[in-house]
A and B are shown apart, each in its own frame.
Chain A
Amino acid sequence: MNPVVEVGLIAQRELRRNFRSAKGVVMAVLTLLGGLGITLIRLKAEQMNAGKFSTEDVQQLQEALLARQYGDEMGHYLAAVPPMLLGMLVITVWLAPFLIAVLGFDAIAGEMQHRTVRYFTMRSRRASYFIGKTIGLWMVVSIITFCLHALVWILAVTRGGVSASVGFGWGIHLWLLTLPINAAWCGYAMFIGSQFRSPILSLLVTFASFFVMWVLGLVGMVAESVKWIGYVYPNTFEDWMLSPHADRVSEGAAICVGMSILMASIGAVLFTRKDV
């Protein structure tokens, strides 16, 4: 059987599994409500401050803030992005590891614990099963993220005074940037989670690992001499992918996708050798 078809069938099943489980539904709803709530609060604040500052003042302030965070060139480039959309990107990238850990910790460990995995490993290559699960998780997270972003695009256009072309143009652009970052986190989550038969252990170790990676990311950000340490933390590449330069964006995306492929490959090889 074509491995691509095999992976596709497993990924489809993972999609169904997540969107039908109470955990998947609750996580999706919480993520959407949380993101929407923050956006509405922000929108309300903008409306309350409307008229106090001129549009140019707000634009200049935003550019200054972004320049401090990302540098002058990027600050200028990103100043054109509606703040609501940029804020949503930051929120989703920040929340992605949490969402992925919660959705993915039992994807393999849960099926190993109850031996449900046995119905599938005798019909699909172990590597296909692992990769299918990883892709399935990535699709689930991407769909949830898309729904959240889409709600914000609509709000920005209908109530935030953002033109449709700017709102949807930048919106889609920023959502696309989350895809490689999510892929890297999914690779990590599946790799770590598949090392355990106990889902709770898988969850704890996944969270602990993600926390360590966040700390490494911080160290890499503040200590120039050990900047490379921060590269294990996928969110580091958010800055790269926000760059106005296509090559920088491609590099960031390629590194994140590479991370994902690497982790999924190592995970698949280990899973292939495992007793199930």
Chain B
Amino acid sequence: MSPEEAAVKSENTEKESSEPIEAKTATTDEAPSSSPKSDSADKPKKKKKAAEIAVRLKKITKLFGAKRAVDDISLQIKAGSVYGLIGPNGAGKTTTFSMMAGFLRPTSGSIEVLGFYPQQTDMLRSRVGVLPQDAILPPIEQVGEFLTTLARLQMVPAREAQSVARAVLEEVGGIEWWKVKCGALSHGMAKRVQLAQALLGSPDVVLLDEPTAGLDPRSAYEVRQLIKNRRRRCTLIVSSHNLQELEEICDAAAILDHGKLVTSGTMNELTASTQEVHVKIASSAGKSPEQSVPMGKVRELPSVSRADWDDDKNELIVHFDRKNADAEAVIAHVLWLLLNEKVRISGVTKGRSLEARVMDLTDDTTGEDDDDDDE
């Protein structure tokens, strides 16, 4: 599946093949009488649905007292995709994430994970893995016994639980910590153990809240590689402040701000990489970058719908109709023209960076609240 295919659609465009599910907020661990169901008889049907949509949020709102932490968010996340939750501090990422994981109950709206309510633990216990932000590992338990207990709770038979725990600890590069108490682990080591428990038993959906927060560059890189290794083997939902990281690993993302969904889409849609080409221009002898670019000729190029000049960045921004041309063809035309005109080119990128997109879309007054807004 290409990143484009691993798309996400907002609820208002809902027309997936799975039937709409009239679900209300679950109030107990037990399966409610209405769907999503936990009936074993429905499992094949549910599996089919799960193959299409892994996580579905319907008009989710979460209030903490008077504070509206999440406001009417609807999302659908396709199975097998790597999906990012993006937004400034206090945007509602962690709250949304915590509701998907079943830690918090929505005040209104409903959530389905693999066709079940997040609180239907018995149905999801071995199918969903979660790396919660700031959840401290039990300090006096040894890493090995902690992971083994979790494996047992995920219904791994007692005789296999240790080997399953060892395998996942090895995967995160921490097998030598088996006998180390969780309280004695450094931040980076603890993060890997937390990641190990999230990946325990190869779950279908893995929720990762700030997986690289507080890690040194090497550890962050290694964790990113681990996440990449899991691509296509499961649905990964990653909440992070690190936009470069998300741009690198995600197929699609939702941008949140002030508890609302600002936009969502594939990474190409968000960065407009299939609609824009940015050409950075260097100064040439006696001419400013702007003067050296023949804007009129650029606008006359085939498939170019608009061309703008960004004074701050010394960038030529070429917009094109993706139905008529792909980015590579437009780049070829533009570069050919500019080189013939002896314009000095510093760099070429498809679309904007995710960071620029997020900066455009989110309010710069946010950030004073900690993102840890779920309690």
Do A and B actually bind?
Answer: yes
B155 CB contacts on chain A under 8 angstroms = 1
**Smallest CB gap from A269: residue in B:** B28
Question: Would you call B29 and A118 a contact (CB within 8 A)?
Answer: no
Contact of B122 with A116 in the complex, beta carbons under 8 Å: no
Q: What's the minimum C-beta distance from B11 to chain A, rounded to whole angstroms?
A: 24
Indicate whether A9 reaches chain B with its CB closer than 8 angstroms. Answer: yes
- Contacts A272-B28, A273-B27: A124 and B121 contacting too (C-beta < 8 A)? yes
Contact of A123 among B103, B119, B153, B375 (CB under 8 A): B153
Pick the contact of A122: B130, B138, B141 (CB < 8 A).
B130
Q: Counting CB contacts under 8 A, is A245 at the interface?
A: no
- Contact assessment for A120 and B28 in the assembled complex, using a CB-CB cutoff below 8 Å: no
Q: Which of A114, A120, A275 contacts B136 (CB 8 A)?
A: A114
CB of A115 within 8 A of CB of B136, answer yes
* Chain A residue, CB-CB nearest to B138: A116
- Mask for B163-206, Cβ within 8 A of A = 1, else 0? 00000000000000000000000000000000001000000000
> B135's closest neighbor in chain A, by CB?
A115
Interface SS of B by simple majority:
loop
Flag whether A127 is at the interface (Cβ < 8 A).
yes
Stretch at the interface among A12-20, A133-141, A224-232: A12-20
Q: Which residues of B contact A197 (CB under 8 A)?
A: 375
- B126-163 residues with Cβ-Cβ distance < 8 A to A are 128, 130, 132, 134-138, 140-141, 145, 149-150, 152-155
**Given A119-B197, A124-B125, A275-B104, A9–B149 Cβ distance below 8 Å?**
yes
Contact of A118 among B132, B153, B154 (CB under 8 A): B132
| B319 sits at the interface (CB 8 A) | no
Q: Are A122 and B128 in contact (CB under 8 A)?
A: yes
Q: Is the Cβ of A17 less than 8 Å from the Cβ of B121?
A: no
CB distance from A141 to the nearest CB of B (A): 19
* B260 contacts chain A at the CB level, 8 A cutoff: no
Chain A residues contacting B152 (CB-CB under 8 Å) are: 9
Number of A-B residue pairs at CB separation under 8 A: 83
Residue of B nearest to A8 (CB): B152
Report the Cα distance A1→B29, complex, angstroms: 13
Q: Is A21's beta carbon under 8 Å from chain B?
A: yes
B-chain residues with CB within 8 Å of residue A195 when the two chains form the complex: none
Residues on the A chain within 8 Å of B128, using CB: 122
Instruction: Check B140–A21 contact: CB distance below 8 A.
Output: yes
Given the complex, which residues of A lie within 8 Å of B78, measured CB to CB?
none
Count chain A residues whose beta carbon lies closer than 8 angstroms to a beta carbon of B: 28
Q: A114-B136, A115-B136 are in contact. Are A120 and B153 (CB under 8 A)?
A: yes
Residue numbers in B under 8 Å from A21 (CB-CB): 140
Partner of B102, one of A12, A121, A273: A121
Contacts A122-B128, A123-B125 given: A13-B103 contact, CB under 8 Å? no
Complex: how many Å from CA A116 to CA B138?
6
Query: What residues of chain A lie closer than 8 Å to B154, measured between beta carbons?
Result: 123
- For B57, the chain A residues whose CB sits under 8 A away are none
Asked whether B103 lies within 8 Å of A1 as measured between CB atoms, the reply is: no
Of A21, A121, A123, chain B has the most CB atoms within 10 Å of the CB of A123
Please tell me if the beta carbons of B121 and A123 are within 8 angstroms of each other in the complex.
yes
Q: Which residues A224-247 have CB closer than 8 A to chain B? A: none
Min C-beta distance of A203 to chain B, whole Å: 19
> 0/1 per residue, A104-122, Cβ < 8 Å to B?
0000000100111011111
CB neighbours (8 Å) of A111 from chain B are 138
B101 at the interface (CB under 8 A from A): yes
| A194 shortest CB reach to chain B, Å | 16
Contact A17 B101 (CB under 8 A): no
Q: A1-B155, A9-B152, A275-B104 are in contact. Are A125 and B121 (CB under 8 A)?
A: yes
Could you tell me which residues of chain A, from 1 to 44, have a CB within 8 Å of some CB in chain B? 1, 6, 9, 12-13, 16-17, 20-21
Q: Are A116's CB and B103's CB within 8 A?
A: no
Cβ of B374 within 8 Å of any chain A Cβ, yes or no, is yes
Q: Would you call B278 an interface residue if the criterion is a C-beta within 8 Å of the partner chain's C-beta atoms?
A: no
In the complex, chain B residues whose CB is within 8 Å of the CB of A151: none
Q: How far is the CA of A79 from the CA of B104 in the complex (A)?
A: 58
Asked if B105 is at the interface of the complex by the 8 Å CB criterion, the answer is yes
CB distance from A21 to the nearest CB of B (A): 5
Given contacts A1-B125, A119-B197, whether A17 and B138 have CB atoms under 8 Å apart is yes
A276 within 8 A of B: yes
The answer to whether B375 and A119 have CB atoms under 8 Å apart is no
Which B residues lie within 8 Å of A9 (CB)?
149, 152-153
Interface membership of A149, Cβ < 8 A: no
User: Does A275 lie within 8 Å of B374, measured CB to CB?
Assistant: yes
Docked Cα-Cα span, A132 to B33, in Å, equals: 27
Q: How far is the CA of A214 from the CA of B155 in the complex (A)?
A: 43
| A119 contacts B135, C-beta separation under 8 Å | yes
B101 touches A118 (CB 8 A): yes
Instruction: For the complex, give the distance between the alpha carbons of A65 and B333 in Å.
Output: 108
- Residues from chain B with a CB closer than 8 A to the CB of A124 are 121, 125, 153
Residue of A with least CB distance to B95: A275
Q: A1-B125, A6-B153 are in contact. Are A126 and B29 (CB under 8 A)?
A: yes
Cα distance A233–B149 in the bound complex, in angstroms: 36
28 A-B pairs with CB atoms under 8 Å apart are: A1-B155, A17-B138, A17-B140, A20-B140, A20-B141, A21-B140, A114-B135, A114-B136, A115-B132, A116-B135, A116-B136, A118-B130, A118-B132, A119-B135, A120-B150, A121-B103, A122-B128, A122-B130, A123-B121, A123-B125, A123-B150, A123-B154, A124-B121, A126-B119, A273-B27, A275-B98, A275-B103, A276-B103
Interface residues of B (CB under 8 A from A): 27-29, 98, 101-105, 119, 121-122, 124-125, 128, 130, 132, 134-138, 140-141, 145, 149-150, 152-155, 197, 374-375
* Nearest 5 Cβ contacts at the A-B interface: A115-B135, A123-B153, A114-B136, A125-B29, A275-B104
Which A residues have a C-beta under 8 Å from some C-beta of B?
Answer: 1, 6, 9, 12-13, 16-17, 20-21, 111, 114-116, 118-127, 197, 272-273, 275-276
Given contacts A119-B137, A121-B103, A275-B374, 15 further A-B contacts (CB under 8 A): A13-B141, A17-B138, A21-B140, A114-B136, A115-B132, A116-B138, A119-B138, A122-B102, A122-B124, A122-B128, A123-B153, A273-B27, A275-B98, A276-B103, A276-B104
